Structure 1
Amino acid sequence: MYVSLCLMLLPRFLLAALMLWLLDFLCIRKKVLLKMKERQDSPDDPPVCVSDSNKMFTLESLRAVWYGQKLDFLKSAHLGRAAPNTEVMMVQERRRVRILDCIKGKRPLILNFGSCS
């Protein structure tokens, strides 16, 4: 299973690694960051600093990319597919039920993720 997962994720990972490696070239980084600076929406954003001291292609960044792509691939909810039937807590009744058990007829199901703060 793990080998097949690795083979499926490898092309996306290599593309992301290539992009990080290209961003380590100062001339490319300057162009990308200056375009980002032009699109800055908020005056509260920190100024864009282009330097050669902070590398994008590091072992830590590659680990983060691999982990993120693995999480994205293994998630249970996917666009266009059936929703996962996970457990939710019925607050008023204080019991756990499956989401799809709450559907009534053809009415849309609305979940309210309230705040506890």
Structure 2
Amino acid sequence: MADAWVVARYIFLPFKLVRAVLFNISLTIAVNLFPETFFKFFFKEQDKNDLNKYMAPVARNVGNLSYIWQRMKMHWLCAVRETTMIAEQGSPAPNPALVRLSDGSECRLLDLAKAGRPLVINFGSCT
């Protein structure tokens, strides 16, 4: 059963890559054609007013054509990594590379673990 799931992930990979291309093209077109509607839909007033250091670059560059290749590359790499990742019960935990938001340096996930303290990863949203 597990082998069938691995094969299915590789079968769906081309569809994920096409989805990434279409998403990036449509996002760029939408932002450039309807900027006010886009920003009202995706950014709250607080994000625009505070110009916090994380959302301001996104709001400024999301429709910029010079970033379309970077976004495309990121989506492709994520799709390939999602397809090739394997995690099984009882096997060693995955240790992906992460980027610290504070200074942009790279670290590994398990570097954040401390002896005597569990590492909790919250994939939800608090907003």
TM-score (norm 2): 0.46
Higher helix share: 2
TM-score (norm 1): 0.49
Greater radius of gyration (CA): 1
Q: Which has the higher contact order (CA 8 A, sep 6+)?
A: 2
